[in-house]
Amino acid sequence: MQTPQLMTELFRLFSVEVEAVQAYGAAVALLGPGPIRDELALFGLEHQRHALALQEQISRRGYVPPEVQPDVKGVVIGALRPPQRSLTAEDVLAGMRGNEQLTGSLYAKALAKTLPNELREILARIHGEERHHLDWIERAISRRAWEASGASHP
């Protein structure tokens, strides 16, 4: 991949990671204490690490990471903006599932392209963590984990 296309990919991934950090922050603020909130807080930290790793990849190529405006893409993250009604843990998990599906598909698209080996390794590792997030959220939804944890209401 030529440098401009590579930077477009890295900027897109960086932006989606920063948006994910914001979305997980919003999700954690909406949930009551319990294992679901703890896990989502952890995922938020992992997204922060991903954003930093991407920032480093952008900077070392002599570019500046883009300014990320919250909610610019109007993706599912938007569902977690100030709610008209109080969101349940199920709503929050469904929103985060949509975000993770989007994030995972962007990594899959990037990894389908020709990449420098070192960058491919970094993106593949991040993609693996993203798959873990999505798997965990899907399991939590299918098991209705909030009913056990009592975290349905903020």
Residues engaged in binding Fe ion (CB under 5 A): 100, 130, 133
Select 37 or 133, whichever has its Cβ closest to Fe ion.
133
Select 19 or 100, whichever has its Cβ closest to Fe ion.
100
Distance of closest approach, residue 128 Cβ to Fe ion, in angstroms: 11
Distance of closest approach, residue 40 Cβ to Fe ion, in angstroms: 10
Distance of closest approach, residue 52 Cβ to Fe ion, in angstroms: 14
Select 39 or 91, whichever has its Cβ closest to Fe ion.
39
Question: What own/partner pairs with CB < 8 Å and gap ≥ 24 does 113-118 have?
Answer: 113/1, 113/5, 113/9, 114/1, 115/1, 115/6
Crossing angle of helices 3-30 and 89-111, in 10° steps, is: 170
What DSSP string describes 46-109?
HHHHHHHHHHHHHHHTT--PPP--TTTT--GGGGGSS-SSPPPHHHHHHHHHHHHHHHHHHHHH
Q: Which residue is nearest to Fe ion (CB)?
A: 133
Select 19 or 130, whichever has its Cβ closest to Fe ion.
130
Distance of closest approach, residue 77 Cβ to Fe ion, in angstroms: 12
